[in-house]
Amino acid sequence: MKTFFRIAGAVALAGWAALAGPPLTTIQDVLYKADGTRFNGTVTISWTSFEAADQSAIATQTVTAKVLDGNLRVQLVPNTQTNPLTYYTAVYNSDGHVQFSETWAIPLSAQPLRIRDVRVAAPGPLSNDTNPPTTPVAESDVVGLLSDLNARPLKGPAFAAGRVAMVNPLGALDSVAGDPGDCVRVDGSSGPCGGQQPAFLDGDIPSGIVDGANTAFTLSGTPSPGSSLVVYLNGLLQAAGVDYTLVKGNVIQFVAASTPQPGDTLLASYRLATTTGSMPQLFPTPQVLCSGTGLTVNAATFSSLGNCTIPAGTLNTGDRVEVHFDLAHQGVTSGFTFEVHWGGTTVLHRDATAADAQLSGRAEAGLDQSGAQVSAQSWGTTLPLSAVVASASDSYGSGLVLDFEGKTGAAGETLTLRNYTVVRMP
């Protein structure tokens, strides 16, 4: 019988121990406001579920403690050795408004702790110490970190930002060297992109006199294949085999009914043949942009004798344009004045005498990014040779007009532009 009571007593004590719950730490303090008066309100403390140090399971919940006349007292399970690591969030409420919040890390303590003993600035490593550790963690203390760092590629001696990366024979990252237009190969080398690359010539102006009688016009390049050629007359697409045929590789032969008339504009676009590893020569021969005869004027003010309208996209930086012209003067009373305009820039001006029955001239324009540098020379029957150099800032990418202008000095006298040619050199 005595043995039975001893066993029953041991079981009862074990049951009471299980019902006693996890150990608690008391937080007790007096709270004040900044004006020196005591804080009155509530402190709502919340937490997520965790396992206490004695393996007690703590569920997610909140508890609200009243603060009367500044006095706060609350008991909570220590959370500096929980699994997983967790913190308490304390939200202070007064006068019906949330005033502020803070984070608590509570160690196990038999003595009551003040709020300053459990307040932490931000979540971090927890321990029984009321002050979180600040010692840096060594790389070797992190399992697997050094091996992972050694496995990553490092910068090589040829590494540079903004370039294509390659792995050198030592396993480091280098940058591929080469020109911006080069191709990169699988071995990390670079060079011109190989293979046959198609080239296109758009806005080509076929050479030939547009007088209503000429039916043959020569292209600057040779279409390859010939079926890639498209021809526009005054912006209207011409039908191959109906309006024209392509002969001799690069000659457009119009039928009589479709013969270009004076003032018409011809444009052609086609594909060019290329060779492996080389760039196509878009203009193997000089390209005649404009040619023809001009007008006759009899006026004391400048009038246009003829012009050449170069379409947009025809001229490019690095091109060279040559201009040739011849004039005839009739009359013995007075002289005449002649000018050549490159866009809005006067590149040539000559004042001739009555004895100058003829005048000829040449001009060249070298195109650069800011415009063109133009040189010109002219001479007449008695007019001496004159050479000038000028700069023109006129934009040519959106199209350009070359204008030949002149005026006479007396009634009955005439000035005629007998011929002019504008050529883009290859």
> What is the residue-wise DSSP string for 154-218?
-B-TT--TTS-EEE-TTS-EEE--S-TTPEEPTTS-EES--S---EEEEEE--BS--SSS--EEE
Please give the pLDDT value at position 410. 86
Look at the chain and count its residues.
Answer: 426
- Determine which helix (DSSP H) or strand (DSSP E) holds 61, and give its type and residue range: strand 61-67
Distance CA 32, CA 263 (A): 98
pLDDT digits (tens, 9 = 90+) for 374-404: 999 999 999 999 999 999 999 988 889 999 9
Band of pLDDT at residue 124, cut at 50, 70 and 90: low
CATH topology assigned to domain 21-120: Immunoglobulin-like (2.60.40)
Band of pLDDT at residue 355, cut at 50, 70 and 90: very high
Please give the pLDDT value at position 148. 81
The secondary structure of 79-116 as a DSSP string is: -TT-BS---EEEEEEETTEEEEEEEE-----SS-B-HH
Q: Which CATH architecture has domain 287-425?
A: Sandwich (2.60)
From start to end of 273-385, where are the E strands? 287-292, 296-297, 303-310, 320-330, 336-342, 345-352, 358-368, 371-380
Q: 175-179, 238-242, 294-298: which has the minimum mean pLDDT?
A: 175-179
Q: Is 0.75 topped by the overall pTM? A: no
For the record, the structure tokens of 209 come out as 């006199």
The secondary structure of 246-257 as a DSSP string is: EETTTEEEE-GG
Q: Where exactly does CATH 2.60.40 map onto the chain? A: 21-120
Work out the average pLDDT over 10-16: 44
pLDDT digits (tens, 9 = 90+) for 207-222: 889 999 999 999 988 8
Q: Where exactly does CATH 2.60.120 map onto the chain? A: 287-425
